[in-house]
């Protein structure tokens, strides 16, 4: 228990709650950032249903589904890492963190293949865009903004998780530190954002 | 043993896995269901169904992985506040969109009379 407790908290429990509270406030601002984009998507979809259905059929549903499964699994390993750190289980913490980083890297790799396939199919809005429907431009503008912003959040999350993993590995940070749980909260929010993006970007217009 | 702010946390790896593995399996099952239902002919309800499943997945992650199941009112309040602000954002925007549609939206004039051109939003 010793080592993790910092000023001004009198107990680790209070410190942990404060760290989680601060993280939740930050997550609220993150959620509003993505909510603005999702709102723009929802409004445009309401105004241009035909173009959005047409454009939605062009995204790579297999890669998007694989990435959703990868990210859901990374949330599992991150949750295990955070709980294991709290229970002072060093090996399980390090394994959880390592698997989370590997799954995060796998997500970004699949995303990279998907983006390059999108570019080959001329699905980047602008000159030579593949779809004639004007509102398909809007769909793909939002697709590129939302997926790249989400990927940046993945990179940021992986940076934080890798840093904590390094500290845990070296023994610089006690496993009781609330930082593991705070990083896990952030990771799960990035997962939730993807959970919402998945039906919007990949499942629209698939039904006959 | 349940004390104060939910300090009854699992202490062994197997106890931790017992907590989280069923959640993960449920998440993957929901993912499969949402993919399959996206291809089923649901007469325009596909969007609603896929977003409903996404909401269920998000709730599972928030409650079990983000620990909102622990009885900590401060954290539940902080998480719930974001939801309330986002619901204002969507409700007010769509109220505005629905109320103004006939005059100022792109499809004005193409409709069939006084019906606003708004269709099923999702």
| A148 found inside a domain | yes
With cut-offs at 50, 70 and 90, classify the pLDDT of residue B106: low
| Chain A residues closer than 8 Å to B65 by CB | 75-76, 78-79, 184, 188, 191
Rounded-to-integer distance, Cα A190 and Cα A71, Å: 9
Tell me which residue has tokens 């959640």.
Answer: B23
Q: Which pLDDT does position A127 carry in this prediction? A: 86
Q: Write the pLDDT tens digit of every residue in B33-58.
A: 999 999 999 888 999 999 999 999 99
- Given a contact cutoff of 8 angstroms between Cβ atoms, the answer to whether A47 and B102 are in contact is no
Tell me which residue has tokens 């719930």.
Answer: B80
Q: Write the pLDDT tens digit of every residue in A94-109.
A: 999 999 999 999 999 9
- Given a contact cutoff of 8 angstroms between Cβ atoms, the answer to whether A12 and A1 are in contact is yes
Q: Which pLDDT does position A7 carry in this prediction? A: 85
pLDDT at B102 over 80: no
pLDDT at B98 over 60: yes
What is the predicted ipTM?
A: 0.94
Q: Which pLDDT does position B10 carry in this prediction? A: 83
CB-nearest partner of B24 from A49, A73, A86:
A73
Percentage of chain A exceeding pLDDT 70: 99
Rounded-to-integer distance, Cα A203 and Cα B30, Å: 14
Residue A70 is part of a domain; what is its CATH number? 1.20.120.80
| A207 found inside a domain | no
With cut-offs at 50, 70 and 90, classify the pLDDT of residue B110: low
Rounded-to-integer distance, Cα B121 and Cα A45, Å: 7
Class of residue B88 by CB neighbours under 10 A (exposed 0-12, middle 13-18, buried 19+): exposed
Q: Could you list the residue range(s) of the whole structural domain that residue A155 is in?
A: 22-202
| A6 found inside a domain | no
Comparing alpha-carbon positions, the chain B residue that sits nearest to A182 is B66
pLDDT at A142 over 90: yes
Helix runs in A121-178, H state only: 134-170
- Decide which of A11 and B31 is more confident: B31
Mean pLDDT of chain B: 83
**Domain boundaries in chain B?**
1-71, 73-122
Q: Which pLDDT does position A101 carry in this prediction? A: 98
For helices A134-170 and A49-56, angle between their N-to-C axes, nearest 10 degrees: 50
pLDDT at B2 over 50: no
Taking only residues 4 to 33 of chain B, the set having a beta carbon closer than 8 angstroms to any beta carbon of chain A reads: 4-5, 7, 9-13, 16-17, 19-21, 23-24, 27-28, 31
Number of domains in chain A: 1
pLDDT mean over A47-63: 94
Q: Which pLDDT does position B9 carry in this prediction? A: 76
- Interface size between A and B, measured as CB pairs under 8 A: 160
pLDDT mean over A27-33: 96
With cut-offs at 50, 70 and 90, classify the pLDDT of residue B11: confident
Tell me how long chain B is: 122
Q: Which pLDDT does position A205 carry in this prediction? A: 87
| A166 found inside a domain | yes
pLDDT mean over A19-27: 96
Rounded-to-integer distance, Cα B120 and Cα B48, Å: 10
pLDDT mean over B23-41: 97
Taking only residues 91 to 120 of chain B, the set having a beta carbon closer than 8 angstroms to any beta carbon of chain A reads: 93-94, 97, 105-107, 118-120
- Decide which of A108 and A7 is more confident: A108
Q: Which pLDDT does position B101 carry in this prediction? A: 56
């Amino acid at each position: 228990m010793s080592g993790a407790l910092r000023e001004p908290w009198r107990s680790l429990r209070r410190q942990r709650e404060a760290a989680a509270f601060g993280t939740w406030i930050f997550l609220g601002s993150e959620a509003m950032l993505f909510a603005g984009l999702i709102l723009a998507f929802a409004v445009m979809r309401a105004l241009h249903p035909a173009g959005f259905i047409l454009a939605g059929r062009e995204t790579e549903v297999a890669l998007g589904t694989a990435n959703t499964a990868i990210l859901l699994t990374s949330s599992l390993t991150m949750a295990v890492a955070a709980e294991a750190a709290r229970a002072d289980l060093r090996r399980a913490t390090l394994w959880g963190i390592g698997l989370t980083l590997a799954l995060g890297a796998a997500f970004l790799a699949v995303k990279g293949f998907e983006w390059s396939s999108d570019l080959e199919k001329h699905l980047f809005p602008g000159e030579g865009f593949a779809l004639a429907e004007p509102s398909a431009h809007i769909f793909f503008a939002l697709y590129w903004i939302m997926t790249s912003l989400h990927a940046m959040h993945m990179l940021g999350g992986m940076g934080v998780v890798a840093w904590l993993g390094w500290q845990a590995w070296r023994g610089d940070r006690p496993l009781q530190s609330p930082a593991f749980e705070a990083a896990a909260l952030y990771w799960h929010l990035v997962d939730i954002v993807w959970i919402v993006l998945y039906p919007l970007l990949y499942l629209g217009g698939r039904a006959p | 043993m349940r004390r104060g702010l939910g300090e009854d946390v699992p202490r062994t790896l197997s106890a931790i896995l017992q907590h989280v593995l069923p959640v993960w399996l449920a998440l993957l099952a929901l993912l499969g269901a949402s993919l399959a239902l996206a291809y089923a002919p649901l007469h325009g309800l596909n969007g609603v169904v896929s977003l409903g499943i996404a909401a269920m997945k998000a709730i599972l992650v928030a409650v079990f992985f983000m620990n909102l199941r622990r009885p900590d009112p401060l954290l539940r309040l902080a998480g719930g506040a974001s939801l309330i602000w986002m619901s204002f954002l969507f409700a007010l925007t769509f109220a505005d969109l629905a109320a103004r549609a006939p005059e100022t939206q792109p499809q004005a004039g193409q409709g069939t009379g006084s019906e606003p051109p708004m269709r099923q939003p999702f």
